[in-house]
Structure 1
Amino acid sequence: MAKKLDPKIAHTLRDDARNLEQQADSNEPYPANTKISRPNQPSRMSNVRLSEEQFAALQAEAGRRHLPVSTMARAWLLDRLDIERSAS
């Protein structure tokens, strides 16, 4: 049996979406505490050589955190860069 959305709920959702779209098209300035980011900008790739033992340790830590190895390595590199910048 196919599930169907209640027409009243669908109407309410459409109205809500239209209201949100109208607000989003506003020309008003962003609130003062808004942080603007530009995701998906071009990025650079870098290869890192690790021994089997080092890679296994990184892989194990990434697995414990349920992250891909590349995400874990990137996070650690960025954390270290922040530490180095703060120290200088």
Structure 2
Amino acid sequence: MRILYFAWVRQKVGAGSEDVSPPPEVADIGSLMAWLASRSPGHASAFADPKQVRAAVNQEFCGPDGRVGPGDEVAFFPPVTGG
């Protein structure tokens, strides 16, 4: 699974992307965020408030119940505001 990080999420994690192999019980965005948060202090900081992080799976926006699996591309980014 390819994980992409953008904006302040990227800054806190300390990387723009990484390839990961989460355990089988990680099957949705919510559980993926929790699992990622356990990987390092930077990840924990980035996912400390999951409501402040948006996600896309294979370039489709989704919520915490969005399904994920091996081979997916998952992007995490802050909420976007327009002007």
TM superposition score normalised by structure 1: 0.22
Q: When you count strand as a share of all residues, which structure comes out higher?
A: 2
Instruction: Determine which structure has greater relative contact order: mean sequence separation of CA pairs < 8 Å that are 6+ residues apart, divided by chain length.
Output: 2
Q: When you count helix as a share of all residues, which structure comes out higher?
A: 1
TM superposition score normalised by structure 2: 0.23
